[in-house]
Copies of this chain bind each other. A is one copy, B any other.
Amino acid sequence: MRVGVVGGGQLGRMLGLAGVPLGLDFVFLDPSPEAPAAAVGEHIAAAFDDDAAIAGLAGGCDVLTFEFENVDVDSLVAAAGGTPVFPPPGALATAQDRRSEKEAFEAAGIPVAPWRTVDSREELEAASRDIGLPLIVKTRRLGYDGKGQRRVLADADIPAAWQALGGVPLLAERLVDFDREVSVIGSRGADGALACYPLTENVHRDGILHTSRAPAADAPLQLLAEDHLRALVERLDYRGTIAVEFFVAGGRLLGNEFAPRVHNSGHWTIEGAACSQFENHLRAICGLPAGACRTRGHAGMLNLIGAMPAADGVLAVADAHLHDYGKSPRPGRKLGHVTVVADTPAERDRRLGDLQALAAAGTETRSL
């Protein structure tokens, strides 16, 4: 089977690495001449709004998927023609607008922080009264990695937040005083069965995922997360891999965001689980049975951002697995990640600490 992928970044690259052993062929559409996924498939260098190019991609493939979310859903559906698109474009559309995303959580019975849509400074002021401070204000569309967000801790912050973000549809929500951030990643097959990975605990820095650790929950919290995920994917008539980010606050899970695709907080599944989120996504969209989500010990993942550490240092850490995306270094850019697997959480954290020290001393040059 030939799989067309809208987007050819590191997620596409890891999809390809998971799919080539299954005998799948890949075509990636991505405007960047340096698309990381080009190493593992054909690369169509075209813009994401180039409908003719997407139609060409779809026409040459048996199934279409995406690893980049900011595409126009109506155009995607039209360009796909008769080629099936998974995850379903409706789920992508839902995730593209923070309002429909919150409504989907609520409709699935998943608690969320109080929120309001905001289209004027007056509405922002009203939201701060209705919901209460502190708030976080976000653009409803096109936000990622903390971009398009401002905090409103006091009324005095409102003018600056409005000035920074106003003019596009916004959403204000109560800033959650959470204990920790977790995500649950699952993959739903053609038969509707949901394969679910253990909860992952995530630490962000400057709005970008910094580390993930899994498994990260006791049985009750895991079951709660799986129930939430199941309710959401059934509502979305979902097929493929999906990630839902939650805040853990007082033993409750509050839905924050969901990503209708493979997700950075699931990269640890490549070495830390029997079957990775990438392979399970491909199995799901190709109509194959899901692989086992069971873990192989305790996994930790460190994103490599802005600069790559020397490969020989990273690979000297026991059971460390380097993923270099082959991208040019740039401040704030995700260039790679390292996963460690260990028999105990303490050993995992020790290795992750060693890797963090190496990454902090990262060179500006590519290592290999």
Cross-interface CB contact of A1 among B21, B288, B368, cutoff 8 Å: B368
Task: Check B315–A291 contact: CB distance below 8 A.
Answer: yes
Closest Cβ–Cβ distance, residue A86 to chain B (whole Å): 15
B-contacting residues, A1-49, CB 8 Å: 1, 13, 17, 20-25, 39-41
State the oligomeric state as a number of copies.
2
Q: How far is the CB of A274 from chain B (nearest CB, A)?
A: 5
Closest to A2 in B: B368
Contact B311 A288 (CB under 8 A): yes
Instruction: Take A311-B288, A312-B287 as given contacts and tell me if A323 and B21 are in contact as well, using a CB distance cutoff of 8 Å.
Output: yes
Inter-chain CA distance A324–B282, complex, in Å, is 14
Interface string of A295-312 (1 = CB under 8 A from B): 010000000000010011
Q: Separation in Å of the A38 CB from the closest CB of chain B?
A: 11
- Contacts of A368 on B, CB cut-off 8 Å? 1, 22-24, 286
A292 touching B312 by the CB < 8 A rule?
no
Query: A156 interface residue, CB < 8 Å from B?
Result: no
Whole-angstrom distance between the Cβ of A28 and the nearest chain B Cβ = 13
In angstroms, Cα B308 to Cα A291, docked, is: 19
Q: 15 additional contacts, CB 8 Å, given A1-B368, A25-B326?
A: A17-B20, A21-B322, A21-B324, A22-B322, A23-B308, A23-B311, A23-B322, A23-B326, A23-B368, A25-B39, A275-B319, A287-B312, A288-B311, A288-B312, A291-B319
- CB within 8 Å of B: which residues of A? 1, 13, 17, 20-25, 39-41, 271, 274-275, 283, 286-289, 291-292, 294, 296, 308, 311-312, 315-316, 318-319, 321-326, 336, 341, 366-368
What are the nearest 4 A-B pairs in CB distance? A23-B324, A23-B368, A289-B316, A21-B323
